[in-house]
Amino acid sequence: MRPAEWARDAAARWDIATPTRPGRLPGVAMAGFRDRTTDVVDLQVVPYPAVTVVLDLGEGLLVDDVGGRQQRGSAVLGLTPGSVRVRGRDIECLQVRLSPVVAHTLLGGSLESGGVVSLHDLWGRDAPRTVERLHAAESWDDRFAIAEAALARGQEAGRAVHPEVAHVWRRMVGSRGQIRVEQLAAEVGWSRKRLWARFRSQIGLTPKRAAQLVRFDHVAHRLSAGHSPALVAAESGFVDQSHLHRDVMAFAGVTPTAVARAPWLAVDDVAWADPPSGTTPTAGPEAAP
């Protein structure tokens, strides 16, 4: 089966809802999912250049992270979840993708790049009431509005990243990860050492690792669209196909062929076709400073 055919089959099991009105929070994207089947879902999370908030509205998701910890129900997933798996039956959930620039404002340093935390780290004591309101809402648009309002309150109370860090993130996204750290440091007037330290403390990854993650996301979507690993390697700045293979294995733990058939990638063109801040679907969400 070709990747495009696989994607259609994988996406067909989901009812997907997207906001009918433009969101008012830069760097935030949302989509709703309901499983049309009664089969057990067992999905490996493919790394993506955003922090993912999974708001469980169904029978109870189970999230297993790379450290062997489990989070039942709603959870917040870091930038590089690695071997994180999501399991459950009769799944209905609202997913929120947060640019790491926005995620820092909302979460501070409570979320490691590859970790999973509870909603309490995101919304504190308001988390249970917010989830109750999401369950009681009569439409997906109402749910999106509730989630957006809760995120807006968190942003107002949080501490924004340095403008220089936000600029560097935007440049990484715009270049699809193909830009040198030295160039970015020069653009913001910082030394390479200072950029490295500030970026890592606020985004959760080093600049080099963050650029690799953005590039991986572009590669994963190109592979999912049916393009050959050799072509994707050539257009994405890799030395050769073996280099691409190593990079994909490092992020996803599976081969490029397996990434091309990742079930979560199959729904991206529908659920995340209009990412925030005018970025391309293959580049991930970008946040304004």
pTM (2 d.p.):
0.86
Q: Is the model's pLDDT at 167 over the cut of 60?
A: yes
Which residues, in sequence order, are CB contacts of 232 under 8 Å at separation 6+?
219, 222, 223, 244, 256
pLDDT at residue 264 tops 80 = no
Count Cβ neighbours within 10 Å for each residue of 216-234 and write b for 16 or more, e otherwise.
Answer: bbbbbbbbbeeeebeebbe
CA 23 – CA 231 distance, rounded (Å): 35
Residue-wise pLDDT for 106-164, tens only, equals 988 777 777 788 888 889 889 999 999 999 999 999 999 999 999 999 998 888 999 99
Would you say 279 and 217 are in contact if contact means Cβ atoms under 8 Å apart? no
Do residues 79 and 5 touch, judged by C-beta distance below 8 A? Answer: no
Contacts of 230 (CB under 8 A, 6+ apart): 241
Q: Let me know if domain 163-278 sits in CATH 1.10.10.60.
A: yes
Would you state the pLDDT for residue 277?
41
Predicted local distance difference test score (pLDDT) of residue 83: 66
Q: Would the pLDDT of 104 be above 50?
A: yes
- Least confident residue range of 23-32, 80-89, 167-176: 80-89
Q: What are the tens digits of pLDDT across the range 182-213?
A: 999 999 999 999 999 999 999 989 999 999 99
Question: What tokens appear for 3 in the block?
Answer: 């990747």
Q: Give the per-residue pLDDT at 72.
A: 80
| The pLDDT of residue 68 | 67
Mean residue pLDDT across the chain: 85
The answer to whether residue 177 scores a pLDDT higher than 50 is yes
pLDDT at 200: 93
Instruction: Give the β-pairing of 51-56 and 41-44.
Output: unpaired
pLDDT band for position 288 (cuts 50, 70, 90):
very low
Q: Which CATH superfamily is domain 3-157 in?
A: Jelly Rolls (2.60.120.10)
**Domain residue limits, the chain:** 3-157, 163-278
Residue 279 has pLDDT above 70, yes or no: no
Query: Could you tell me the sign of the dihedral formed by the alpha carbons of 124, 74, 221, 12, in that order?
Result: negative
Span 60-101, pLDDT tens digits: 788 876 666 777 888 888 887 666 788 888 889 999 999 999
